[in-house]
Structure 1
Amino acid sequence: MKQVLVIISLFLCAFGSAQPKYEGAMGKGLQQLKDAKSADDMTATAAFFERVGEAEKDKWLPYYYAAYANYLTGWMNPKADKDKVAEKTKELVTKAEALSPNNSELFCLRQMTAIQQMTVDPMTRYQSYGAEINANTAKAKQADPTNPRAWFVDAQYWKNVPEAFGGGKATAKKLVEKSLELYKTFKPASPLHPTWGQEEAEKLLASCQ
């Protein structure tokens, strides 16, 4: 019995020491994400989060932030091969989904990545990528109707769709207003969970007036 108690005690000590190490690494990565000023900075941030994910094995957030940072490099570097960036982003999202299926935040990332790929050649890619974009937005809202980012990324997309196809400022305004209502009561599951989007949503609403 004494030996069993010693084993349990050692396990609890190991678990307790692992959590601060993980949280410390994630805090460092989130600070890097905040401070990134260039595509190179963001690429380094994505790589850092991916290493955290590979070390932790059972946590989806490192892969989420690795994917999000990688996605951002596609916009920060005007010469980036957006298809290549998107493939890496999707690879990281897939790893996160294996650990957290039916996750609204991950569906949002898939929607954003599809938009990024569509912008390579909107005229020829609209039909196929448009369907993918809308499917992922619907999944994001269904998985968590209270996630403000699901409504924000939807508004962002429809703002840039021509009015003839149902888009434009009026369509986007209703969606971003819903997003901002949700941001008022939104509480992340932990200090490490995604919180971004409110400032961008406020700017989007102003542009829809």
Structure 2
Amino acid sequence: MKRILFSLLLSSSVWAVQAQDAKYVAAMTKNIALIDSAHIKYFANADLSLFETEANAFERIATAEKDKWQPYYFAAYCQVMEALYVKDKDKVDGWADKASLNVDKALSFSPDNSEILCLQSLVATSRISVDPMTRGLPYGKEAAVLLEKAKKLNAANPRVYMLQGQSLYYTPEQFGGSKVKAKELFETALKQFASFKPATNLDPNWGEAYTKHLLSTIK
């Protein structure tokens, strides 16, 4: 009898966990898909509201799950997009600070993660726009160091080369930028994208279309 009861309790626990995991996957899948809509909405009419909505949604998922890095990662991704796109430069650091907090939480669950370090580098990059003359060197160096760490952890990560190329693309030549070197890195990124497969359907898989766009602008 005890064995039967134990078996029933175990089966119920497994079912509950599977149902919870299915709910989590469904919520994450839905909100990750909406990130593309947020980009489209922004470029259509400079509206950042969907990024904020999605950041809040991912933070709610993260609070409910408590032990997964992906919700914190995507919350930070949406917040750093706010920091990069917002027109009012007085708001950049506020969004970057929020993104940084979520990046730190993601790292606490997955410390040696190339994807999270790439995003952390993007947070540093976003802060440069507030005052490029004074911030370009310190934050640019911070972003570069983080990308090298990300590369050592996973040299096959296409976002490493995409972000390194982006840095060279947008940096003036007198300060070390180079469209020629950026092109080489974009081409490397595209080769990596061609064979890249995220560990799960909930892991980062963005950047290929953006890389192609930047590459197309280099004559």
Please tell me the TM-score bracket, short chain as reference: over 0.9
CA RMSD of aligned residues (A): 1.3
- 1:22 maps to which residue? 24
TM-score by length of 1: 0.95
Identity %, equivalent residues: 36
Once structures 1 and 2 are overlaid, which stretch shifts more, 68-77 or 198-207?
Answer: 68-77
Correspondent of 1:204 among 207, 211, 214: 214
Q: Distance in 2 between matches of 1:40 and 1:126?
A: 28
- The aligned counterpart of 1:61 is 70
CA distance in 1, matches of 2:86, 2:144: 26
TM-superposed CA distance for 1:27, in Å, is 1.8
Unpaired segments of 5 or more residues in structure 2? 42-46
Match of 1:52 in 2: 61
C-alpha distance in 2 between matches for 1:35 and 1:133: 27
Once the 2 structures are TM-superposed, how far is the Cα of residue 6 of structure 1 from its aligned partner?
2.1
The one-letter amino acid of 1:39's match is L
Structure 1, 26-35 or 9-18: larger mean CA deviation: 26-35
Q: Letter of the aligned partner of 1:19 in structure 2? A: D
Aligned counterparts of 1:42 and 1:95: Cα–Cα separation in 2? 19
Name the residue aligned to 1:175.
Answer: 185
1:56 partner letter:
E
1:191 matched residue in structure 2: 201
CA distance in 2, matches of 1:52, 1:148: 27
* Residues 62-98 of structure 1: CA deviation (Å, up to 9, x unaligned): 1111000111112333125111110000001011111
Superposed CA deviations along residues 22-68 of structure 1, whole A, max 9, x for unmatched, are 01111221233222222111101100001000100111111111000
2-structure distance, mates of 1:93, 1:106: 7
Distance 2:118 2:127 in 1: 14
- Most deviating of 91-100 and 31-40: 31-40
Assess if the C-alpha contact under 8 Å between 2:86 and 2:92 holds in 1: no
Q: Runs of 5+ in structure 1 lacking a partner?
A: none
Distance (Å, rounded) in 2 between the aligned partners of 1:134 and 1:172: 14
1 CA distance for matches of 2:203 and 2:218? 29
Displacement of 1:102 in angstroms is 1.3
2:44 alignment partner in structure 1: none
Q: What is the alpha-carbon distance in structure 1 between the residues aligned to residue 109 and residue 15 of structure 2?
A: 25
Give, as a single letter, the amino acid of the residue that structure 1 aligns with 2:203: H
Deviations 1:150-203 (A, max 9, x none): 110110011122323432101111111110110110111122211111111111
**Cα distance in structure 2, aligned partners of 1:169 and 1:33:** 28
Residues 1-209 of structure 1: pairs in structure 2 closer than 5 A:
1-36=3-38, 37=41, 38-79=47-88, 81-209=91-219
Q: How far apart, in 1, do the equivalents of 2:37 and 2:170 lie? A: 28
TM-score normalised by the chain length of structure 2: 0.91
CA shift for structure 1 position 143: 1.3
